[in-house]
Every structure is written in C-alpha cells, then in structure tokens.
Amino acid sequence: MELFKTFSLNVWIKQFGQSCRRFPVSVLLLIMLAVFMIAFIHGTDVSDKWEFFFIFYPATGALLGVSLQLLTEDFKHRLTAFLTQVLVHAVWLGISLYLAQFDHFSLPQYIAVAATVVTMVLSVFLLCFYRKSDDVPFWNFSMRMLVNIAVSMCISGFLYLGIILLLQSFNWLLGVEVPDEAFPDAATVCMMWLAPMLLLNLIPQGSDKRLHQVMVLSGFFKGVVLYLFIPLLCLYMITLIIYATKILVTWQLPVGWVSYLVSASMMGMVVLLYFTYPVQHEPGKSVLKSIMRWMPLVMLPLLALMTVAIGRRLSDYGITVSRLYLAVFNLWCYAVCIGLLITRNKRIWWIPASFAVILFLISVGPQSIANITRRQLLGEARQAFTASGIRQFPLTGEQYEQWLKTADQQVARSIDAKLDYLYSDYGFNAVSTLLAKDAITGRRSTFNENGDIVYTHYDSYINDGLIQNVPVPQGYAAMTMVAVTDNDIVKINGDKLQFSVKGGKDEEHLFEIDLKLLARYDNDRNPDGCDEPLVIDNGEALMLINEFNVSMVGTSANYLSFSGILFTR
C-alpha cells in the first residue's frame, strides 16, 4: 500500500515498474487489449472471429496471468514456476483460438466459457492458499483484494468522468467538435487498462500477502451485522419455516420459487459468515459468534424443503439445465452446512474453492450438465418416435406434424416441449438428427396448470447481402423498400401467415407465407446463411425479404415483422 502512503511521482513509477516485473504477461496482455479495443473503435476491418479472439484472449489471459503468478511466486524452484506458466498460457491460447472458430456459441459452450472465467476469477483469491493450515491469511488477502478492486474502479471511474467533462467543455465553451470515438477511447484507457493496472499495483506480495494477524472487527460493524443483516436473514428463514410447517399440515408439495428463496438465504448466510470470520477466532463467547455458529444447523431443514421443491419440478416437467444446476447447488449447500458444523466455522477457504471446482466440473466437458441435458432429452424424443414405429430420421416438417396429430396428445405435448426447449436454448443443430429444417417445434406446447410457463416458437432471418444492387425483375415497373409489423397482419390461417404491404402508389398488396418456409430460412437453422433469397409471389407483386422476425405462442403469432423490397407492375 506504499502507493497511497506516499503520493509522489517517484513512488508511482517505482510501483508500476514492480508490477511490470511481477506480472509481465498480464501487463503485456492489458496493453494489447487496450490497443485492440481502440483499433476496433476506429473501424479496423477484421472478421468477427478475430475480433472476438483479440478481445477475449487478452482479457482472460491477463486474469489467468495474475492467478498463475500469485501461485507460482511461492514455488521453490523457479524453473518449475516458469514451465507451469508457459504450459498453462499455451493451453489457454489454444483454447481461445479454438473458440474463435465458431460464428455462434451453443449453450454448452456459453456455459463452459462463463464457468471457466468465473473459476479464473476465484482462483486469484484461492490458489496461493491451498496449502495453508489456517484461513486467516486467505481472509486478510481476499478482503484487501476486494477493497483494492473497489478503489481501482473508483479512481478510474472518476478519471473517466473528468475526461468526459473536459471533452464536452471543448464543445460547449470553445465550439470544438470532439470526434465520437474519443469517448469510447477514454473509457477503454481508463476502465480496461488503468483500472486493472492500478489493481496490479495494489495486490499484496511477500509477507504482506500471507498476513496472519487476525483483524478485530469494530463494534459498529458488529452492531450493523447483529441488528440489521442477521434479523433480515432470520425473517427469511422464519418465513420459510412457516411455509414448511404449512406444507406438513396441508400435505401439499412446495412450489418452484421456494428454491430461489432458500438459495438466497443460504448465500446470505455464507456472505455474513465470510465478513464476520474474525469473530470465530476471538476468545470467549459472544452473541454474534453463537448465532453464526448454529445458523448452518437452522439451514438444513430449509435445504430439505428446497430438495422437495426441486424434485417436484423435475418430476412434473422433466430436466432442464437450470433445474439440474439448482439440484447440484442444493447438494453443495448440504455439504457446506455440514462442513461448517464440523469445523465450527473455523475454516472457510474450502467453501469458494469447492464451489469453483464443482462449477467447472459440471460446466466444462462432455460430462457437463448442458451436455447431459441435451443427450437425455434427445434420447427421450428418439425413444418416443421409435415407439411409434418411426425409423427414418430426420423427420420433415410434414412428417413431424403428422406424428404430433396421431401420437398420444400428452406424449406429443411433452416431446414437442422438450424439442422446442432444445431448439430455443441450444439451436437447431441440437435437434438436427431428429428434425429437418422445415419442422416447427413448440406448436403443441401450452401453459402449465399454474400458468407460469409458456413455450414459444421463434424464427429470425437477416441477409442484407442478397438485396444489394437488386435489379427490377422483368415484367415489373417499380420497386419500393417496405417494412411490415404485427399491426399489418391480416389473418393467421393454420400454418399460413397473411399480411399486407403498401406500394409506391399506396396500393395494398396481400401476401401469404408458409411457416415451414420461414423455418427453413431461420438463421439458427442455417447459421452459415442461405444462398438463395427469400421471395414471395402473390401473382401481381413480388416481395424480396431481407429480414424477418416471427414469434409464435401455440398457434397464434404474438409478434411479426418483415422488411425487404416490393416489386410492382
């Protein structure tokens, strides 16, 4: 913290130099990130894939560099530390290049990337303390890191606001036009380079990083926790206990939102335990120490209520990614409460560490929850199809509609909802082994008995490149740019959407389009785009569509928009 003890230019330069020597990879990647961001702001022409790589890799690589340096600077052998960093950075560079190949991330990829980044963030706090016999150094380090993050963001934020006001004053007072790019440039320099660089300067090192002194919490802080936050958390718990008693009396299963209330109570307890951790090392007894000591025991019956609620949702509606994550989180909460009771709240490092490890294991790889859910739902759908005598896949739109009409309606609604869930959350590739591009899902799905779940079908398409420099077709005299919204819908007739558009002479032109045709052009079903333009002909006029969005609930359209070129005779 010498940076703030002595406010001088020499101290600042010395501290920045130390940060460059301590975190050379992170500093280099932060500079690259700022340069690339400014280049993209000023219109550097690169593909979307390379733009993703040049932003994603420097940002995540800098974070990874901090975590690795904090871990390896305690290694006895410098060669081992160097090789560890080189190997991990090389692996992450390869992973980043692999991810940059995709135009669109699937749901498992989104979750895997997000979980990996969260794990990296937590590793900054955790990795260098995995061999410690007590958690006091970890608590001191993590608390100072949180304060340093807030300080870095505040300093950079105030500097950014000052620069923005200065740039605006050039325009207001001197009449000097400031380029629009100057504002995002300032944000990039302040928030994406200066803020992390300040944080690197403030990260504790040496003996300061492994401080064993137990902080004494002030009476004011204890009073705020004891008389404000703990009563609020207790009210949550009491409400849930009353609800659990009502369930036992009326013998009714709990509703789904109970899981989120219990989860909020559990996380509130963990946060309070973390911030009041020094109290557990104070001699003697205190009210706050006793409350936090036995709070995990009170949470156990609430976690049982959450388990029942999750079980009901899985039984009634089947598995989804969110429900399985909630189930795993429920099991982790049991382990945390039991572990806290055994250790008497004296050890807390393992709580975020176990969370990070479990999150990574269930989010990355073929064993991830997203992949398990996809395989399970696809297996159930294929089993239902084969039980009906279907052996040839994928089913065309007509074959799928016919199966929905002839199969048992309860089975049809269930399978249609599962396939629609896969299509909506994973993209068409997830169901392409079972359904062709013209098959429409979600048409047999309905509200549940509580009216709180709606399955929708959504198609979207955009292909501006196909309508650039379009000549007027032979036999037509004029063309007009047109846009259609849901107010222009004339009629929805089964699988047909009818709508009208106005030509250059305000003449109404009625068009009809098949939903199966829209499904065939859906960008999610065709992530690489379509080679042929989407053209509708009503015999008197043509409409070349370059963009559409259609949202269906059951058999009704709740949103419709088209844009393109109308050709009239």
Calculate what percentage of the chain has a pLDDT beyond 70: 87
- pLDDT confidence band for 448 (50 / 70 / 90): very low
Q: Structure tokens of 180?
A: 């629009």
Would you place residue 455 in the very low, low, confident or very high pLDDT band (cuts 50, 70, 90)? very low
416: pLDDT strictly greater than 70: yes
3-state secondary structure of 366: coil
**Range in 159-173, 321-335, 437-451 the model is least confident about:** 437-451
Give the Cα separation of 420 and 167 in Å (integer).
50
Contact predicate 404/435, CB 8 Å: no
With contact defined as beta carbons under 8 Å apart, do 475 and 548 qualify?
no
Task: For the chain, give the mean pLDDT.
Answer: 84
Residue 385 pLDDT greater than 60, yes or no: yes
Q: Looking at this protein, which amino acid is placed at residue 345?
A: N
Does the pLDDT at position 450 exceed 60?
no
Which tokens go with 220? Answer: 């004011």
Query: Tell me, what's the pLDDT at 2?
Result: 47
pLDDT > 90: percent of the chain: 38
**Which residue from 142, 122, 117, 144 is spatially nearest to 353, judged by alpha carbons?**
122
In the chain, the N- to C-terminal Cα span, in Å, equals 77
- pLDDT confidence of residue 546: 80
Structure tokens at 159: 């500097």
pTM for the full model?
0.80
pLDDT digits (tens, 9 = 90+) for 8-57: 667 777 778 888 899 999 999 999 999 999 999 988 778 888 999 999 99
| Predicted local distance difference test score (pLDDT) of residue 172 | 79
The whole-angstrom separation of Cα 203 and Cα 16 is 12
Quickly tell me which residue has 């608590």 as its tokens: 139
Length of the chain: 569
Quote the Cα angle for 32-36-40, to 5°.
175
**pLDDT beyond 90 at 86:** yes
Task: Determine the pLDDT at residue 453.
Answer: 36
For residue 193, pLDDT beyond 90: yes
pLDDT, mean of residues 460-472: 64
3-state secondary structure of 567: strand
Q: How far, in Å, CA of 229 to CA of 240, rounded?
A: 17
pLDDT at position 130 is 84
Distance of CA 489 to CAs 256, 510, 534, 538, Å?
Answer: 37, 10, 19, 16
Q: What is the mean pLDDT of residues 481-505?
A: 71
pLDDT tens digits, one per residue of 283-326: 777 888 888 889 999 999 999 989 988 888 888 888 899 999 99
Q: Domains of the chain: which residue ranges?
A: 2-208, 219-365, 370-454, 460-568
Task: Please give the pLDDT value at position 20.
Answer: 87
